[in-house]
Amino acid sequence: MEGQNSAAPEDTISDDGDEDLLDESSDHDVAQTSEEETETRQQCVCCMEEYSPSDIIQTECAHTYCYECIARLFENALSDEAMFPPRCCCLPIHVSTAVEDMIGTEMIKRYEERKIETSDFERTYCAIPTCSHYIPPQNIRRGVGICGLCQARTCTDCKAQGHRGDCDYKNANHYSSASCDKKAKAKKKAMEKRRAKAKKKAEAKKKATTKKKATAKKKTMDKKKALAKEMARAKEKARMRKKVNDKNYGLLEKLAKKKKWQRCFRCSRIIERVSVEMTYVTTVGQGEGPADVILALHQDFAQKVDESVNAMPRGRETEI
């Protein structure tokens, strides 16, 4: 009995130990799972909150958005055409299955309608002012569009409510276009004519200016040539005068040497006193007057000297 009683408590103690081990292992697994979730949580670039990977969408530029921020981004793009299509870092956001699950089928439908509208270059909107809904190409037949909301008819030419017969706006627009083309051609022709006239006038003015410059240049050259010719003539005249004067001066020196005339120590004139009783004095060429030559000769010899001196040209100083 005692053995049996003693064995029972030992089994009870072992069961409690197993339960403690199980509790510790489960706590460890929960802690490890929470750590892994914390490590894999990502941050939204818009609201800066952290979310699990299932609540995050990643764009082409590797940025992450939560479901609320991506829905707000699409809503803004649908409201403002300048922001369409939705994009991040100038790259359009691809509408994947994950995006569809986040923003919903209703917004996806609006996105597809807006995509068709923005790609249409000849858009037609409902003519009813209170509606103004976009009419897609599949709702247009024979120039008349049917609004998908109010079922109103709209003419695709004049953009007014649907009417029977041909559209007067189309014919008027065609006539206006032809008239505008005719006016544009006439205006272009007149402009070309004015340009040609202005070009011709500029060329004539340039030609006249060139001719005027050439005439002035020729006149200046002729004046320079005349001045050079005059200077050459004056120089030649001076050279000839100098040559003659040098020749006469040489003759005068020979005569003075031969007659043994002397130079006055005061006035530097060549003089000779022949006789005390009769003196004859003459002057030859000083500046514009006679030269500084004073001769004192006999009366019979004075006549000969006077004739030889008078034969000399004026304007030559005869200083030795």
How big is the chain, counted in residues?
320
**Between residues 15 and 84, the one the model is more confident about:** 84
- In the prediction, which pLDDT does 171 show? 60
Mean pLDDT in residue range 115-143: 88
> How many Cα atoms within 13 Å fall on the side-chain side of residue 70?
25
Domain holding 318, by residue range, is 258-320
Global pTM reads 0.40
pLDDT value at 204 more than 80:
yes
Judge whether 180 lies within some domain.
Answer: no
Confidence at residue 184, expressed as pLDDT on a 0 to 100 scale: 83
Q: Does the residue 27 lie in any domain?
A: no
User: Mean of the pLDDT values across residues 281-304?
Assistant: 42
Is residue 22 in some structural domain? no
pLDDT in tens, 172-198: 555 556 667 777 888 888 888 888 889
**Band of the pLDDT at 148, cuts 50, 70, 90?**
confident
Does 248 fall in a domain?
Answer: no
Q: Let me know whether 38 and 113 are in one domain.
A: yes
E-strand spans in the chain?
Answer: 42-43, 50-51, 56-58, 64-66, 87-88, 91-92, 124-125, 134-135, 140-141, 144-146, 153-155, 262-263, 270-271
Q: How confident is the model at residue 297 (pLDDT cuts 50, 70, 90)?
A: very low
The model's confidence at residue 8, banded by pLDDT at 50, 70 and 90, is very low
Residue 87's CATH number = 3.30.40.10
The string of DSSP codes covering 43-63 is E-TTT--EE-GGGEEE-TTS-
Q: How many domains does the chain contain in total?
A: 3
pLDDT for 39 equals: 57
The band of 118, judged by pLDDT with boundaries at 50, 70 and 90, is confident
